[in-house]
Structure 1
Amino acid sequence: MAVRQSDLNTNGITPIQQMIASCSGALMTSLIVTPFDVIKIRLQAQRTPFYKGKCFLYCNGLMDHLCVCENGSNAAWYKAPGQFKGTLDAFVQIVRNEGLKSLWSGLPPTLIMAVPATVIYFTCYDQLRAFLKYKLGYDGAYIPLLAGASARVGAVTVISPLELIRTKSQSRKLTYRELGSVVRIAIAQDGWLSLWRGWGPTVLRDVPFSAIYWFNYELLKSQLCKKYNISEPTLTISFSSGASSGAIAAVLTLPFDVVKTRRQIELGELNTMSLLPRLMKVAPACAIMISSYEYGKSFFRKINRERELKRDLQSDIS
């Protein structure tokens, strides 16, 4: 991938390279976190079976997905619950009876929705932060807070219509033509803004979370880098800073999450919802995502520096 000097931003990498780094981080997070949620959902279904028309919340660490039970006790891409004694027993039985790949049975909805949203979110954050700091000359601890909040608003605005359409299509079997008719009728009745009906409660939770997360992450990262006298964060620094910041943000925004969940029930015309604990999912997911993202950016910076040095050397020779 050829990189021109004019394409490089103040972070030392191009926007395309930022997208690749964030996409890699999202894929890594999804692959690692999905099996834990598959086990949690199966345990949850064992205690309270998912009957047809009932919904449950699937949290993959990157986004929340509203999933509808379609065929009796089979919740869409989850098989019927077994008899598990606990988390470890569920892991062993699922692998033994259904195969290892069954632990990633919830991966498709993650990849369809969460990966594009994460790419938009992380790329916008870095671009906005660099713009505010280097282009406009602003400086201060509020820069990550403002950039994080703005980036989340943008990501939610882009993804919200897709999430609403996906939830509606999952509530009952619809062909693409029928789904198109549903969308057209909704637009005719309530206008284009009806596609963003879930935007408000999502922003209410995700924007404060994003602002708090990035503020604490940048603060912790800079303090640790200063402590160890390094210019770029190591994998350990990124991981620990991401986990701590994610945990803090998850705790402080928990009330907003309850509001969003209840609003989602109305949007999906569904009756009940079980709220999974956020803290045990968000902290490791944030740690994995940000450390993978930072590693990807560091990798591209190194490549770009080497290419720049090679160009300078060739220029001096000629």
Structure 2
Amino acid sequence: MASENSESVKTVSNKKHLYSAFLVGGISSVALQPLDLLKTRKQQQNNNGAGKFIFKLGAENYKIIDLWKGTLPSFLRTSIGSALYLTTLNKLRQTISTIENKQYNKSTTYNKSSNLPKISNWGNLISGSIARSAIGFLLMPLTVIKTRFESTIYNYKSLNEAVKDIYKENKINGFFKGFGSTILRDSPYAGIYLVNYEFCKNFLNKHTSVEQNNFLVNSSSAVIAACTSSAITAPFDTIRVRIQLQPNLNKNLFTTFVDIAKNEGFIKLFDGLTLRLMRKSLAAAIAWGVYEELIK
């Protein structure tokens, strides 16, 4: 059985991509917020925050619902981010597909489990990196607010309080603290993820009954791709968290990297990796598995 189809696959409107991505982003952010919160606390300065928090959940002042602290900024960031990212990514991939088709005199092809056009590895790498970098910059303020909400360093009661505190501390620049490490995490993550995701889909399409397992093929590919990309970019995530939580102590990417490696050990750069792998793999399975079904 062939593993790809020609241009008979229907065209999906940008609006459908936008709404579908917003939905899956929102669902995954709420469902997986506890893992994000624990990861942030594990990565923060003088950590053990995650371990202490889990230990204290049974205490009088801690409740299971506290694991969802920071859900609102997380929901806004992830739902809006997913909508903008996946819609932008689709447009970029369509453009690259058209360019590659003209260059090699061929027609657009698709995986049987997918309604997204197949493009070269370089095309996936470039489109993923560009889309993620652009959307990451636009959503940096929400990323900073989300990270602070999840930590034990700040005790914000509302988004308004967080915005005022960040602005008072570092003006507008405060909302973009950690942008360098965020881009060095997200840009290669997105590119590597797409390359691995498409590779896994191609492989699984050749070895499964796709008519019955579309969702399984796409979600399994998403999990594998997310784990690989998360492990490679983990150090930049730790550095990002440190800079966004204590910008006056952690001035920039390089000095924060040196400080962690020198004073805490290189392995500390991978703090929270297990939690990140769990969160990223589950989020990818939900987001890409459901998203690919919704846009059919």
1:106 CA displacement: 4.5
Residue in structure 2 matched with residue 4 of structure 1 by the alignment: none
Residue in structure 2 matched with residue 308 of structure 1 by the alignment: none
Within 2, Cα distance between the matches of 1:21 and 1:238? 16
Kindly indicate whether the alpha-carbon contact (under 8 Å) linking 2:126 and 2:191 is maintained by their aligned counterparts in 1: yes
Within 1, Cα distance between the matches of 2:144 and 2:34? 25
Within the alignment, does 1:263 sit opposite 2:262 as a pair?
A: no
- Cα shift readout 1:132-182 (whole Å, capped 9, x = no counterpart): 112564652211111110111111110113434666799476995995697
Q: Which moved more, 1:252-261 or 1:266-275?
A: 266-275
Out of 189, 214, 231, the residue aligned to residue 234 of structure 1 is: 214
Out of 40, 51, 61, the residue aligned to residue 57 of structure 1 is: 40
5+ residue gaps, structure 1, are 1-9, 42-55, 67-74, 85-89, 299-318
TM-score of the aligned structures, taking structure 1 as reference length: 0.61
Residue in structure 2 matched with residue 160 of structure 1 by the alignment: 140
CA gap of 1:294–1:104, structure 2 versus 1, over 3 A, is: same
5+ residue gaps, structure 2, are 1-8, 104-118, 251-255
1:110 CA displacement: 1.6
TM-score of the aligned structures, taking structure 2 as reference length: 0.65
Q: Which structure is larger by alpha-carbon Rg, 1 or 2? A: 1
Out of 271, 276, 280, the residue aligned to residue 272 of structure 2 is: 276
Within the alignment, does 1:199 sit opposite 2:179 as a pair?
A: yes
Within 2, Cα distance between the matches of 1:164 and 1:36? 17
CA gap of 1:159–1:11, structure 2 versus 1, over 3 A, is: farther
Within 1, Cα distance between the matches of 2:75 and 2:290? 17
1:30 CA displacement: 2.2
Residue in structure 2 matched with residue 134 of structure 1 by the alignment: 98
Within 1, Cα distance between the matches of 2:219 and 2:17? 18
Within 1, Cα distance between the matches of 2:24 and 2:34? 17
1:101 CA displacement: 5.8
SS in 2 for 1:12: coil
Match for 1:57: what amino acid?
T
Within 1, Cα distance between the matches of 2:54 and 2:246? 30
Identity of aligned residues (%): 21
CA gap of 1:172–1:255, structure 2 versus 1, over 3 A, is: closer
Residue in structure 2 matched with residue 292 of structure 1 by the alignment: 290
SS in 1 for 2:15: helix
Within 2, Cα distance between the matches of 1:237 and 1:27? 22
- Cα shift readout 1:39-72 (whole Å, capped 9, x = no counterpart): xx4xxxxxxxxxxxxxx8169xxxx9x8xxxxxx
- Cα shift readout 1:243-285 (whole Å, capped 9, x = no counterpart): 0001111112223333323333442758999942322222222
SS in 2 for 1:267: coil
CA gap of 1:103–1:197, structure 2 versus 1, over 3 A, is: closer
Within 2, Cα distance between the matches of 1:141 and 1:232? 27
SS in 1 for 2:40: strand
Kindly indicate whether the alpha-carbon contact (under 8 Å) linking 1:238 and 1:290 is maintained by their aligned counterparts in 2: yes
CA gap of 1:28–1:268, structure 2 versus 1, over 3 A, is: farther
Residue in structure 2 matched with residue 6 of structure 1 by the alignment: none
Kindly indicate whether the alpha-carbon contact (under 8 Å) linking 2:125 and 2:192 is maintained by their aligned counterparts in 1: yes
**Cα RMSD over matched residues?**
4.2
Match for 1:284: what amino acid?
L
CA gap of 1:11–1:212, structure 2 versus 1, over 3 A, is: farther
The 5 Å alignment of 1:168-187 reads 171=154, 183=167
Match for 2:272: what amino acid?
L
Within 1, Cα distance between the matches of 2:55 and 2:202? 48
Within 1, Cα distance between the matches of 2:145 and 2:236? 23
